[in-house]
Copies of this chain bind each other. A is one copy, B any other.
Amino acid sequence: MSAIRLLVLGAVRQHGRAHGYQVRNDLEYWGAHEWSNAKPGSIYHALKQMAKQGLLLAHEVAPSTAGGPPRTEYEITERGTEEFFTLLRASLTSYDQSVDVLSAGIGFIVDLERAEAVALLRERVAAIEGWRASVTEYWTPSDGPESIGHIGEIMNMWVHSADAGAEWTRGLIARIEAGAYTFAGEGEPFVGVLSEGEENPFATGVPDAGDAH
């Protein structure tokens, strides 16, 4: 699963109604162009594709107020909202070591209720532990660890990062249970998008150390 659909659905959903450039700006505001494949082409492609699949509703709209070509506005449908929550839940529970999907999931976690968020994260911890158990058992060579040589270092790295991921997840669960953040149904939600015309304080990105994912 790539993070782009979750990101785009979430952005449109928070706006109620949004055109491509607005989504693009939100994703940049969230820094998503740094840690996911949120390039213009991918965003517009995802919008069109999801409109074709009935997850979004496309409205043809008059030429922009601020120059440039005419723009299309999108609205999320019932089925799109379902898909959003399906993707969101999957992003939080499944352990697939791709940081971008998890990052997107965390970004939208407050769209869930607190109890469910905690439950999903516990499921995540369980998934990591299960994965760890199976991988360490499977990759313990019967004829001694030397037999796989440096290849064992690959498994070692996976296990190391799985452990770190589990530990971080446990910390997050603890913070949420201690009352941090405002979740769905708990009053004024956290505002995570730019309103029309608001300037983006994070316009120039985090400096890259190496190639982006």
Contacts and interface: CB of A to CB of B under 8 A. Distances in A.
Interface string A102-135: 1100110110000000000000000110110011
Interface residues of A, number: 55
Given A1-B211, A97-B213, A181 B149 contact: yes
A161 to B, nearest CB: 6
Interface stretch (A17-25, A42-50, A71-79, A151-159): A151-159
A93 to B, nearest CB: 8
A164 interface: yes
Q: Which secondary structure dominates where chain A touches chain B?
A: helix
Given A96-B212, A127-B209, A134-B207, A161 B168 contact: yes
Interface of A: 1, 30-31, 35, 90, 93-99, 102-103, 106-107, 109-110, 127-128, 130-131, 134-135, 138-139, 149-151, 153-154, 156-158, 160-161, 163-165, 167-168, 172, 175, 180-182, 190, 192, 206-207, 209-213
